[in-house]
Amino acid sequence: MNRGTWYFWGVFFVLSVVFCGCEQRSDCSEKNSSSLTEEQVRMLMLAKIEVLPFTKPRSWDDDAVPDGIEVVLRPLDSFGDQTKAIGTFRFELYTYQKASSNPKGQRVGFWEEDLRTRQSQLLHWDKITRTYRFRLAWTGQSPKPGKYVLEVTYLSPSGLRLNDVYILVAQMPREQVKENVEGRRNGGLNMF
């Protein structure tokens, strides 16, 4: 055999080994992917949501008066690892009832955010912290300073429902506190 024939048979042998190996691997992966159980899929699905302490009333312009609430959420899978969520988040804000087994009072705010599109995922997902951030603007008058109960409910397309409750503290802006204190000083001491 000459050199060209050896080269032809060598290339043919290498290509046949590579081709057969690839075909066997694809058959093998098809078998494995079709045998995923429901339990295996559930392991990686969203299992819990947590409202993080960075959640608070915020101002989105240059003044100190809050324009709404920035909610920071951490979705977790069954291993406790951060993951993404596809579905709808409902946010409900209630007044806080002291010394009660159920601290939720009157509902003062309601928002709903849909995360079923690529655009909404890009808008709310923070790649650095691997959390979702939602800016919920006040509708009507902003709540007075004090404690509130924020209830967040996640609704998946498959019917899964998860929720978390967070006690939110709304504080009066510093400028307003200063104005109130100065107003009391200028008004004098009220005896009756």
pLDDT, tens digit, for every residue of 51-100? 999 999 998 887 878 889 999 999 999 999 999 999 999 999 999 999 88
Residue 35: strand, helix, or coil: coil
Is residue 63, in this structure, part of any structural domain at all? yes
Give the chain's mean pLDDT: 81
CA pair distance 111, 125, nearest whole angstrom: 18
Provide the pLDDT for residue 187.
62
Residues paired with residue 151 on neighbouring β-strands, in sequence order: 92, 165
pTM greater than 0.85: no
DSSP annotation string for 41-107:
HHHHSEEEEEE-TT-EEE-SSSSSS--EEEEEEEEEETTS-B----SEEEEEEEEEPTT-SS-EEEE
Is residue 14, in this structure, part of any structural domain at all? no
Q: Which of 14, 20, 21 is nearest to 6 (CA)?
A: 14
Provide the pLDDT for residue 42.
82
Is residue 9, in this structure, part of any structural domain at all? no
Provide the pLDDT for residue 144.
85
Domain that holds residue 99: 44-178
pLDDT range class, residue 5, cuts 50, 70, 90: very low
- If phi > 0 it is left, if psi is from -120 to 50 it is alpha, else beta; for residue 140 that is left
Is residue 187, in this structure, part of any structural domain at all? no
Provide the pLDDT for residue 59.
87
Provide the pLDDT for residue 177.
52
CA pair distance 142, 140, nearest whole angstrom: 7
Provide the pLDDT for residue 142.
77
**Segment 8-29 mean pLDDT:** 49
**Segment 38-57 mean pLDDT:** 91
CA pair distance 39, 115, nearest whole angstrom: 24
Q: What angle do CA 138, 156, 80 make, to 5 degrees?
A: 95
Is residue 36, in this structure, part of any structural domain at all? no
Is residue 18, in this structure, part of any structural domain at all? no
Provide the pLDDT for residue 21.
52
pLDDT at 186 over 80: no
pLDDT at 156 over 90: yes
Provide the pLDDT for residue 7.
44
Cα separations in angstroms, 31 against 34, 37, 76, 145: 5, 12, 29, 60
Provide the pLDDT for residue 37.
85
Q: What percent of the chain lies above the pLDDT cut of 70?
A: 71
Number of structural domains in the chain: 1
Reported as a single tens digit per residue, the pLDDT across 93-145 is: 999 999 888 999 999 999 999 999 999 999 999 999 999 999 999 887 777 88
Is residue 96, in this structure, part of any structural domain at all? yes
CATH of the domain at 169: 2.60.40.1940
Segment holding 145, helix H or strand E: none
